[in-house]
Amino acid sequence: MNKILFSAVSKKFVMALAGLFLLIFLPVHLGINLMLLRGDPEPFNNAAHFMATFPLVKVVEILLFLAIIVHIAYGLLLQVQNWMSRPVGYSVRNKSETSAFSRFMIWTGGSVLIFLVIHFFNFYFIKLGIVEGDPENFYSVAYQLFNIPGYVILYWVCFLVLGFHLYHALQSAFQTLGLSNEFWTPLIKVISLLYAIAIPVGFAIIPLVIWLIK
Amino acid sequence: MQNMKLKLKIWKQRDASSRGRFVTYDLDGVSPEMSFVEMLAYLNEKLVLKGDEPVTFEHDCHEGICGSCGMYINGYPHGPVKGLTTCLLSMRYFKDGETIVIEPWRAKSFPVIKDLMVDRSAFDKIQQAGGFISVAVGAAPEANTIPVRKHSSDLAFDASVCIGCGACVAACKNASAMLFVSAKVSQYALLPQGRPEAKERVRDMIAEMDKQGFGSCSNTGACEAQCPKQIKLFNIARLNREYIKAL
Ligand code: HEM
Ligand code: SF4
Ligand code: FES
């Protein structure tokens, strides 16, 4: 049984499912963030409050943390095993054609992880009371952060890198779950590309628009 | 066509436990008509005549069906031309004066036996774990006794042409054997004769693949790009589906 639960293929299934959950969560998060663009803090703070308190959302939040932890843990575990599978490398760099960004998933994923840590410090830890701030007014927390040029640049870089991760992630998850054939896969690749552009661009324009409005 | 002069940088290693190194050979008079394997045989002939040790490499059929001639040539398993094994790779694809770097497959599961020759018995172990059907099916049956969809039989045939050369493992950044295993699983999964044992087969072959120390699949597609038999990545999706069905 253990052989099945922890086989290379099963680990990838779990990773893909957790990753898909994160892929669904991102547009929801983006939808809420776009409320920042309204002049009035109420809708955004209400949405943030709703996300923090509504019981069903609580369940989803637990799932979300689980998904993040499982995705990262399995990602690292698989990566280490994969590195160990080739203890002696080639002296000429491998020139085999590969799908773009697929070789850098550990690095793009790792960068996203660093952003996530910063992100938790900025927001989630306020909610937990670890970091000082008003959990009922994330609107102003966000505006303060977007006032720091260095933060915004970091934010943009992180979303660019996230885009790289997402482009391979979406199509890869379908392949891992066996949902791939001659007919669908070309379409899935186009959707991956659109998704990987739309999500980062959506997040990245928020500080830009805020600056322009000011 | 004119004969060529080549500089060959070839990995030499006495056995699995010793340290290897590159040795450079200058080889004159290579005909563009030769295959890569013939070119190496020609090199060895010269080395032996000089009293030097020849380069050890594996080859057998010289027609792209036995899978033994794999080597990593200038950064490509089986060389830079798609859909060819090393034995079918013609020297006309190389330029006069070119430097060619030749290395053995690199994977924990494929230890070097000597020079360019690696031990691919990890593939045999995977095959023995489930790559068969355990009933005697006899001689080729009358074509219509067991109906098989044309599409399925075509896909099964495409999967069955895998020659077990290991180029997929050699090309993969994870040294993953998923393309090989997916071909071996697919050729049975697509045909009615393979269905009764489909679940045990996929479970056992994956378990053996893990045990042999191959990496997992990151869906980069390097295997498909380098496979001399052009086994498709869709087979890996099918392998994953078969595995889900067997859980
Ligand atoms: C919002 C954040 C993230 C999303 C939406 C996401 C999504 C995905 C998805 C869907 C896959 C494809 C899984 C598959 O091939 O079956 C994937 C692969 C991967 N992710 Fe993430 N991921 C995120 C963050 C991270 C983080 C923080 C890491 C940290 C290490 C990470 C590491 C990886 C790695 C290494 C792979 C490739 C695994 C492989 O194919 O071997 N990801 N990601
Ligand atoms: S899948 Fe292709 S590259 Fe891999 S062993 Fe079979 S023939 Fe060789
Ligand atoms: S020698 Fe048989 S495939 Fe090349």
Percent of chain A at pLDDT above 70?
96
**What is the three-class DSSP state of A146?**
helix
Cα gap A47→A11, rounded to integer Å: 35
Return the pLDDT at A1: 56
Taking the CA of residue A20 and the nearest CA in chain B, the distance in Å comes to 15
The whole-number pLDDT of residue A2 equals 64
For B143-168, what is the mean pLDDT?
Answer: 93
- Higher pLDDT among residues A39 and B200, named by residue: B200
Closest among B10, B197, B26 to B97, alpha carbons compared? B26
**Nearest ligand (C-alpha, residue B235):** 2
Ligand 1 midpoint to CA A169 (Å): 6
DSSP single-letter state for residue B51? T
What would the two tokens of residue A11 be?
């680990």
What lies within 8 Å, CB to CB, of A181 at 6+ separation is: B234, B237
What is the rounded CA–CA span in Å between residue B4 and residue B2? 6
d(CA A196, CA A102): 13
Compare all CA atoms of chain B with the CA of A11 and give the residue at the minimum distance: B216
Q: For position A142, what pLDDT does the model report?
A: 86
Checking if the pLDDT of A82 tops 60, the result is yes
**Is A183 an interface residue toward B (CB < 8 Å)?**
no
Look up the CATH superfamily of B4-113. Beta-grasp domain (3.10.20.30)
Query: Which positions 75-114 of A are in contact with B (Cβ < 8 Å)?
Result: 78, 81-82, 84-99, 102-103, 105
Number of domains in chain A: 1
Mean pLDDT over B71-88 rounds to 97
B168 HSE (CA, 13 A, CB side): 32
Q: Is the pTM of this model over 0.90?
A: yes
Residue A46: the pLDDT is: 82
CA distance B83 to B224: 10
Closest CA relative to residue A166, chosen from A202, A207, A203, A112: A112
Instruction: Band the pLDDT of A4: cuts 50, 70, 90.
Output: confident
pLDDT of the residue at B163: 97
pLDDT tens track for A154-212: 999 999 999 999 999 999 999 999 999 888 999 999 999 999 999 999 999 999 988 88
B120-246 CATH, one of 3.30.465.10, 3.40.50.2300, 1.10.1060.10, 3.30.70.80: 1.10.1060.10
> How long, in residues, is chain A?
214
pLDDT digit string, tens, across residues A113-158: 999 999 988 877 777 776 677 767 788 888 888 888 899 999 999 9
pLDDT tens for each residue of B191-209: 998 999 999 999 999 999 9
Confidence of residue A58 (pLDDT cuts 50, 70, 90): confident
Which residue in the set B72, B107, B240 is minimally distant from A176, CB to CB?
Answer: B240
Separation of alpha carbons A46 and A178, rounded Å: 40
- What gap in Å lies between CA B184 and CA A184, rounded to an integer? 23
Does residue B65 have a pLDDT over 70?
yes
**Cβ proximity of A121 and A141 under 8 Å:** no
Per DSSP bridges, beta strands B99-103 and B4-12 are: parallel
**B230 CA from centroid of ligand 2 (Å):** 8
Cβ contact, residue pair B203, A9, below 8 Å: no
Do the interacting molecules here have an ipTM over 0.85? yes
Segments forming the whole domain that contains residue A122 = 9-84+106-213
Q: Which residues pair with B102 in a beta bridge?
A: B10, B73
Is A186 near chain B, with CB under 8 Å?
no
Q: Which residues of A touch B76 (CB under 8 A)?
A: 94-96
Q: Tell me the three state secondary structure of residue A212.
A: helix
The domains of chain B are located at 4-113, 120-246
Q: What gap in Å lies between CA B36 and CA B72, rounded to an integer?
A: 12
Pick from B64, B67, B205, B68: nearest CA to B132: B205
| Chain CA centroid to CA B99, Å | 24
Average pLDDT over residues B230-240: 97
| pLDDT tens string B88-120 | 999 999 999 999 999 999 999 999 999 999 999
**Which amino acid, residue A76?**
L
Beta bridge partners of B114: B117
Average pLDDT of A35-55? Answer: 80
As given in the structure block, the two tokens for residue A146 are: 């977007």
Ligand 3 pocket, B85 CB below 6 A? yes
| The pair of three-digit structure tokens given for residue B62, joined into one six-digit string | 């010289």
Residue % of chain B over a pLDDT of 90: 91
| pLDDT for the residue numbered A45 | 82
| pLDDT tens-place string over residues B18-27 | 999 999 999 9
pLDDT, mean of residues B7-17: 95
Tell me if B126 CB under 6 Å of ligand 2: no
Tokens of B31: 């005909």
Distances in Å between the Cα of A63 and the Cα atoms of A17, A110, A118, B49, B108 are: 12, 21, 21, 70, 37
Cβ(B91)–Cβ(B33) below 8 Å: yes
